[in-house]
Structure formats: structure tokens, C-alpha cells
Structure 1
């Protein structure tokens, strides 16, 4: 079952980008005991997102757009997020 942070990220990213594919992977268990592990089980994530919006953006712009869409989640409620953002193949 996905946690509340996962569900919130899913909702925010879906509303912001209308993705053709979205996967949010909770990597927190791999970072147990790490200084960024707050014990919540929702501290580290990988986001794999594909959306037409990203077609005109470079890699850095895509990552910035995803971080912006997540608001205060990254850096305040989640310690680390790896982002793999792409546009659908033509």
C-alpha cells in the first residue's frame, strides 16, 4: 500500500502534467539508518514520469518542473527524490 506522501505526489504530478506514464517508487527502505531517514518510511523516492509537456524541455528544466509541482514535499517532508522525466516517443 502506498503512503500518504506517495499519494499526494501522485495527485500533484497528475494534475500538473497529465502524464502518459507515472511511477513513484518508495526507496526509503534502502536508506534505513541514513541521516535523511526520518523513520516515516517515506523519505526517499524515485519518480519516473512521461508527459507531453516535457517535449520542449531539457533534462534540467524537466527536473525543475517536477520539483516545483511537488511544492514543499521535497526538502521539507521528503529527504531525496530521483527524477526520470521524459516525453512520449514520437
Structure 2
């Protein structure tokens, strides 16, 4: 079961990158009592995405693309986003 923020992440990344693999893990429970923890949950995520959109792009460029796709969520609710961004031939 996922929450509304994880669902929005999935929808936006799927729409923008047409990933061949996508994993979204809510790790908010690991950060209780730490800075940035939101009692509502869904504040810390680990995302692994594999997409042809990343072919020929640097790791930094790939992450910038993901951050741009999720800019509203990052501004509103997400405190931490751990990313793994790979091209299909790297998966």
C-alpha cells in the first residue's frame, strides 16, 4: 500500500520517463525524531528508476531531471529523496 505522495511520485515519473523499472520506497519511519521528519509521513523516499531517457546523460543530469519532475512535491512535502537513476543497459 502506498500513500498519496508516493502515488504522485509514481504518476509523475511514469509519465515523464516511461521507466522500464521503478521502485519507490517510503523510508519516513526511519527518520522519526530527526530533522525534516513529518508526522504525516511520506517525507523521506528512496527511488530507483531505469529509463531510456537517461542514456548518454551524466548522473548529475539524470538526477536534475528527476528533481525537476518532482519539484512540487520537493517544495511541499518531501524532505529527502535518495535516487538511483540508470539507463536500461546499466540495470
Is 1:89 the counterpart of 2:89 in the alignment? yes
Aligned pairs for 1:5-20 within 5 A: 5-20=5-20
Other-structure match for 1:42 = 42
Q: CA deviation at 1:59?
A: 0.2
Instruction: List gaps (5 residues or longer) in structure 2.
Output: none
Q: Secondary structure at the match of 1:14?
A: helix
Q: How does 1:8-87 map to 2 (within 5 A)?
A: 8-87=8-87
Aligned residues: 90
The runs of at least 4 consecutive aligned structure 1 residues that moved more than 2 Å come to: none
Distance 2:18 2:81 in 1: 20
Taking structure 1 as the reference length, the TM-score comes to 0.95
